[in-house]
Amino acid sequence: MTKLLGANFLRLKKSALFWGTLALSFGFGAFMCVTRFREHLDYGFAVSLDSVFFGFAMVAGIVTAPFIPLFFGTEHSDGAIRNKLTVGHSRIAVYFANLITSFAAAVAFFAAYLLACAAVGIPLIGALDLPASATAAALGGSLVMTAAFCAIFTCATMNCSKKAVSAVVCLLGVFTLLLAAVYLNGRLDAPEFITGYEMSINGQVVNAKPEPNPAYLTGMKREVCQFLYDLLPTGQSIQYSNVNFTDPVRLMELAAAVCAAFTGAGAMLFWRKDLK
């Protein structure tokens, strides 16, 4: 395992894809900070670093979805996986070495974004206003969520022999999950009552009496939607990026469960995979 990790990290060090993604992550963080600062100058909005500091959580899946299959997918086409097995490494060791490497790369991307927020954001819009407990919860939860993304994409990459196919599958998968999370968020945010407008006897437009909103979820439907929203890594990414969550421990437990499920399934499939 140590030799496999060493080889993977050496590949990362020499990879233009890794350094390019790292630079893009830093640039995205700087762009978000500058955008918020310009909004403050142009419109007088009160802005703080809170609104951008966890923005990478929103795009963590989108960043890692192409990186993992493009970086590790070449091992199928150039025979690197067969060579690793030939010299005595087990399939499980190869799988977990790649999973750990993918997570390390994702953490590096996240760190580059946070570094940009600190280097560019603090001088422009000030420091974080969040309590230390909320900051720690969001950071810790974002890392577990990122591990879940890496587990999903590593599962797809290691069990698909074609790099282009695995990249497409990962990208389509993350955008599908993101659309599902946005839909669930919209259902959960629907107000309990809706207020219309009516014309008063003196000709003025006034608020009508609030009426129950038929789109408002209650009972078991609401519990199921909330569970799915919390379970999806993309649902967690929306909550962490907005720092809008009530039970970070629950979110981390669900993300850990997703990570464990896809890691176990992926490792088992790879162990049985016919490597031609």
Structural domain including 112 reads 2-187+219-272
pLDDT for residue 113: 95
- Residue type (1 letter), 262: F
Residues 136 and 243 sit within 8 Å (Cβ to Cβ): no
Mean pLDDT computed over 50-65:
91
User: For residue 58, is pLDDT > 60?
Assistant: yes
Is position 177 within any domain? Answer: yes
Is position 10 within any domain? Answer: yes
pLDDT for residue 17: 94
Mean pLDDT computed over 37-53:
81
pLDDT for residue 202: 60
Is position 209 within any domain? Answer: no
Q: What angle do CA 149, 236, 263 make, to 5 degrees?
A: 30
Alpha-helix runs per DSSP H in the chain: 2-14, 16-43, 50-53, 56-72, 74-77, 80-86, 91-116, 122-125, 132-158, 163-188, 219-231, 233-241, 248-272
Is position 208 within any domain? Answer: no
The C-alpha atoms of residue 265 and residue 95 are separated, in whole angstroms, by 11
Residues 40 and 46 sit within 8 Å (Cβ to Cβ): yes
Is position 168 within any domain? Answer: yes
Mean pLDDT computed over 230-247:
92
Q: What tokens were used for 126?
A: 């000030």
The C-alpha atoms of residue 47 and residue 4 are separated, in whole angstroms, by 45
* Three-state secondary-structure class, residue 4: helix
pLDDT for 113-170, tens place per residue? 999 999 998 888 888 888 888 899 999 999 999 999 999 999 999 998 888 899 999 9
pLDDT, mean over the chain: 88
User: For residue 203, is pLDDT > 60?
Assistant: no
User: For residue 41, is pLDDT > 60?
Assistant: yes
Q: What tokens were used for 26?
A: 């830093």
Is position 34 within any domain? Answer: yes
Q: By mean pLDDT, which of 77-81, 90-94, 128-132 is the weakest?
A: 77-81
Mean pLDDT computed over 214-222:
85
pLDDT for residue 197: 56
Mean pLDDT computed over 75-81:
74
Is position 14 within any domain? Answer: yes
The C-alpha atoms of residue 271 and residue 81 are separated, in whole angstroms, by 12
pLDDT for residue 252: 96
- Residue type (1 letter), 101: T
Whether the pTM exceeds 0.85: the reply is: yes
Nearest Cα neighbor of 243 from 124, 108, 140 is 140
Is position 214 within any domain? Answer: no
pLDDT for residue 217: 82
Query: What is the total count of domains within the chain?
Result: 1
Q: Mark residue 126 as left, alpha or beta (left: phi above 0; alpha: psi -120 to 50; beta: remaining).
A: left
